[in-house]
Structure 1
Amino acid sequence: MPTFTVFPNIKPSSGGKGNPYISDFISAINNEEGCKVVNESHKNPLLSILKPSNWGDIFIFNWFESIPDFKYGYIQSVLAILLLFVLKIRHKKIIWVLHNKKPHQGNKRQIKKIITYLIAKESDYIITHASEGVRLINDRFSFTAGKTFYIDHPTKNRLSMITGMSLDKSYDVLIWGNIIGYKGVYQYLKYVKEENVNDIRICVVGNCTTPQIAADIKSVASKNTTLILKGASFEELAEYIASTEFVLMPYLQDSILSSGILMDSLSFGAKVIGPDTGSFRDYAMNKDLNVYVFNEYKDISNIIENNRGINISAEKYSEFLEKNNWKNFIGKALNLINTSVTSCR
């Protein structure tokens, strides 16, 4: 029976929920007959998998190139590099899931370049959730050609949660999720205030990752912006999305490639506006979905004006969500490595 090690399997802090992508990934593997994830969640996900008892036949690394941003990042980076070499000596299969063009934090660039090169070189397979990711990594490292694959970011079908909800729209755009620098929330709200964009009703729902970010957001919020600076449950999000014309992701384009928030928004049947890059661009070309892309913030107003009141096709959305659910994602991933996991399928 093939076994798996999934990184980073971070143990949630008290009262926290951990990364839903990782927990869903692990559950989907464990739900496959004959497959098992052997490493338990841990407060330090890298140190925990240095133990051979936590080694599966196949290692799945997510955000490996961001290890330098961990606490004691340089030390952990050295340990990560040594681990890669040991795993190759022990003939372990390595899968790297590429989520971003580059780490969102721009510091420690040299060590990040080294780690990115090594994980790209030593991986047996690379999975990315945007077609741009395949071109990006193959252009950067020619040796990755033939082992890099685009598989849609897995999602869930939550359309039933908005069934029967009021169609009255209290807001034009909803911005939701943890508020971090690369997501461009401050920059967009600043643009709206400075350019006197008064015809867009904006609702921002999410935790600010630092008090300074919260202060910055409040300083640029205009009178047509509602700030709810706290997390929301999926039940609450269903209500926000049902009462909003569009979900807006004003992300900065330099690092973003794929987005869990994009997929979660689609899972509720949202019309989505995002940057013209990565999976946003992929889904803007999908006629079954209502995804729109911008290059400059001024484009957002035109998108809203031209697509206000358009209804989605619940049937087409449902087909897309079922096609790209977690079970099917794991099936596609396992088929890439079927020589190693034939007893899983």
Structure 2
Amino acid sequence: MDIIFNPPVNTENQYIRLLVNELHARGYRIHPLDTIFSSYRHFRSIKLVHLNWFENIDDSSFFKALRSFVRKLTVLTAIRLAGKPLVWTLHNRASHEKGAALFSRMLMRLLVRWSDVIIIHSGQSENVLASYGASVLERVAYVPHPHFVGVYGSAVAAYPHKENGLRLLFIGMVKPYKNLELLIDIVGTFGHGVQLTIAGKAIDEGYQRKLANRAAHVGNVTLLPYFIPDGELTLLLGHTDAVVLPYDLASSLNSGTAILAFSYRKTVICPEIGTIADLGNHVADTFCYRYDTAAQHRKALKQQIERALTRKREDPHALDDMGERLYRHMAAAHDPQRVGDELARLYRHALDRRRRGNKKDG
């Protein structure tokens, strides 16, 4: 079966590769969205379209945002008019790109209204979708976010060190909504009792310089300002006690980076986003927190770093034990093969539902 899965490739996000591989294994032929209008024959051959992060808009300038919006609106309208089943995965509460918020909200409303199936990776996502009307929930399906066990290479054994300080790691694209300025300032108050490594490429050189200047003032923060290759990533994880992710609760909902940390036997310091809330009893194996204001975020994040530092000083193995329990949970509940089976089932459901609708209209 020929389908659109967008994006079909993302060299910086193994989530896409995992899902595409599972779909290939089940006989699906994957095509990029950019080819959908390449020919009439190709357009007709596409049986289903599955979109990820489609509501995100390039906000580097107004004209780029407008052009991106018009192109995406055209594609959505064509899919709708052609009667092709549409599957959409909700990843965030709202787009992180604040400069194009209006365009993003308009696309999100259309995706909610026109999708045959809306895939969610966390229970909190239902609250977001319910705001569009209770009937929307009839088209919502929970699918676990696949784990990353072994995807980046074998886990590196925890690196022993004599000091009883806390080693923290942030990994991922370096963007303003991830509150790294706040994190640097708070870590600086601990002195050399806490060491932080920020590993990832910044969204632009200006933001990178801003963080570098801030880190230089505190003395216990190391920046690795580039895309981290797989082998180096596993070493960084092996040398850390916990992954810290001070996300913005206004837009963040799920975290593949948190799933990555659990997949490599690491706990996290993170707001109680959907990924964390879905851990059930294993929430106790994280250092999670809630906040409503910037001041509350500063206080809560500092408290959780203090908790992690105290736990490690009381028991040098405590954080490793938390990570081990989270790893076992991931391995059992977030198996990529299970995710592939569920996607295939939902695709069949969407196709059958559309066929029944066409027969009824005929």
- TM score, norm. by length of structure 2: 0.80
* Partner of residue 68, structure 2: 76
AA aligned to 2:203 is T
Matches within 5 A, 1:1-345: 2-9=1-8, 17=11, 19-32=13-26, 34-37=27-30, 39-40=31-32, 45=33, 47-51=34-38, 52=40, 53=42, 56-67=46-57, 69=59, 72-158=64-150, 161-162=154-155, 164-168=157-161, 171-193=166-188, 196-198=189-191, 199-221=193-215, 222-283=218-279, 285-287=280-282, 290-295=285-290, 296=297, 297-308=301-312, 309=316, 310=318, 311-312=321-322, 314=324, 317-339=327-349
Once the two structures are TM-superposed, the CA of residue 124 in structure 1 deviates from its matched residue by: 0.3
Task: Percent identity, please.
Answer: 18
CA contact (8 A) 2:173 2:201 kept: yes
- Alpha-carbon distance between aligned partners in 1 of 2:174 and 2:76, rounded to the nearest angstrom: 33
Alignment gaps of 5+ in structure 2: 291-296, 353-362
Secondary structure in structure 1 of the residue aligned to 2:16: helix
CA contact (8 A) 2:269 2:287 kept: yes
CA contact (8 A) 1:121 1:143 kept: no
Secondary structure in structure 1 of the residue aligned to 2:241: strand
- Alpha-carbon distance between aligned partners in 2 of 1:223 and 1:107, rounded to the nearest angstrom: 33
- Alpha-carbon distance between aligned partners in 2 of 1:318 and 1:281, rounded to the nearest angstrom: 17
1:111–1:303 distance in 2 versus 1, CA, 3 Å: same
Secondary structure in structure 2 of the residue aligned to 1:146: helix
CA contact (8 A) 2:156 2:234 kept: no
CA contact (8 A) 1:66 1:112 kept: yes
CA contact (8 A) 2:56 2:95 kept: yes
CA contact (8 A) 2:117 2:139 kept: yes
The structure whose residues are more often helix, as a share, is 2
Alignment gaps of 5+ in structure 1: none
Once the two structures are TM-superposed, the CA of residue 228 in structure 1 deviates from its matched residue by: 2.3
- Alpha-carbon distance between aligned partners in 1 of 2:275 and 2:213, rounded to the nearest angstrom: 31
CA RMSD in angstroms, aligned pairs only: 2.7
- Alpha-carbon distance between aligned partners in 2 of 1:124 and 1:303, rounded to the nearest angstrom: 45
CA contact (8 A) 2:201 2:227 kept: yes
CA contact (8 A) 2:156 2:235 kept: no
Once the two structures are TM-superposed, the CA of residue 141 in structure 1 deviates from its matched residue by: 3.6
Secondary structure in structure 1 of the residue aligned to 2:92: coil
Once the two structures are TM-superposed, the CA of residue 100 in structure 1 deviates from its matched residue by: 0.5
C-alpha deviations, 1:57-105, integer Å up to 9, x for none? 1110111111454883323322322332332332211111011100001
AA aligned to 2:286 is V
- TM score, norm. by length of structure 1: 0.84
